[in-house]
Amino acid sequence: MGRGSLRFFARAVPLMVALSISAGQTAGAAEIMPFDGKKFAEAQKSGVTIIVGAHADWCPTCKKQEPVIENLSKDGKFATAIVFKVNFDTDKEALKLLKISYQSTLIVFKGNKEAGRSVGETDPGKIRALFEKGI
């Protein structure tokens, strides 16, 4: 087994255990889930790439971001990432914790360190570049 494979397993196995990834999840795809403070803290401790998106159903920018985020989550490059969706209208605790002031905010973490942040970005290439900051 090569060095790259060992690194992958070192990241993937603790993540699967810590977050109890469901058996129905698409292989090679990042898991997208509603924001949960406990799971967020566990993901930070495990050191994985975490992507947080603040979403509002009424937000046209958020609607443009959604398919881009879904497509990127299926990219094998982000297979071990966790994507949290924060409800901008109802999850005030998460907004405060993450210092989110605007819907359509995207934040990327590598473990417990913020690697990048964007507000209102809809360009797929720029969103991909933001996500890559967490790898």
**Residue 50 maps to which CATH number?**
3.40.30.10
DSSP, collapsed to helix, strand or coil, labels residue 99 as: coil
The confidence band for 13, taking pLDDT boundaries of 50, 70 and 90, is very low
Beta carbons of 127 and 106 less than 8 angstroms apart: yes
Q: What is the reported pTM?
A: 0.78
The confidence band for 11, taking pLDDT boundaries of 50, 70 and 90, is low
Q: Over 50: is that where the pLDDT of 21 sits?
A: no
Domain range for 52: 3-22+29-132
Q: Over 90: is that where the pLDDT of 117 sits?
A: yes
Q: How many domains does the chain have?
A: 1
% of the chain with per-residue pLDDT over 70: 79
